[in-house]
């Protein structure tokens, strides 16, 4: 898609630091990493977000995230990794081309991928269950 930064990375028009590629996706270093080794998994086809993805492609990309997370642990010495995938501006998505963040985590790195926990009462939780089930 024209003017999509990730489509332009896929086509080679914009350079990237690729660490992996296959028929479905590329994995490249995030230009502003949250921690050393932060990698993005990006499908070759333009899909805005998870709602536009099909099962086969989503599955392939999740297995690639698994592969990259494993490499971060084995080759970078990460102690764990976070998978983050934002959908919509409200959720922090800044580039409207689906991508999965694979963020290496190191003991004591002080990074946070978090929300502030709340304590709704059981009735409120039940209302949400009714809406979602």
**Closer CB to ligand AMP, residue 97 or residue 126?**
97
52 binds, among ligand AMP, Zn ion, none (CB under 5 to 8 A by kind): none
Q: Which of 71, 97, 99, 105 binds Zn ion (CB under 5 A)?
A: 97
Tell me if 32 contacts ligand AMP by CB under 6 A: yes
Q: Which residues are catalytic?
A: 99
Distance CA 83, CA 77 (A): 17
Residue with token string 């790195």: 109
Min. distance of Cβ 95 from Zn ion in angstroms?
8
Query: Structure tokens of 4?
Result: 């999509």
In the list ligand AMP, Zn ion, none, the entry touching 63 (Cβ below 5 to 8 angstroms by class) is none
94 touches ligand AMP by CB under 6 A:
yes
Binding status of residue 14 toward Zn ion by CB under 5 A: no
Which spans of this chain sit near ligand AMP (rule: CB under 6 A)?
5, 14, 16, 28, 30-32, 40, 86, 92-95
């Amino acid at each position: 898609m024209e003017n999509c930064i990730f489509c332009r990375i896929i086509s080679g028009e914009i350079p990237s630091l690729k660490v992996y590629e296959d028929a479905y996706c590329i994995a490249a270093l995030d230009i502003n990493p949250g921690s050393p080794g932060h990698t993005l998994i990006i499908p070759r086809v333009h899909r805005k977000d998870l709602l536009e993805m099909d099962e086969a492609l989503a599955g392939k990309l999740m297995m690639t995230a698994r592969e990259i997370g494993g490499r971060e642990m084995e080759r970078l010495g990460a102690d764990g990794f976070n998978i983050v995938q934002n959908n919509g501006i409200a959720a922090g998505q800044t580039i409207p081309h689906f991508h999965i963040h694979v963020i290496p985590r190191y003991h004591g790195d002080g990074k946070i991928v978090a929300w502030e926990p709340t304590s709704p009462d059981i009735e409120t939780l039940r209302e949400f269950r009714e809406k979602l089930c």
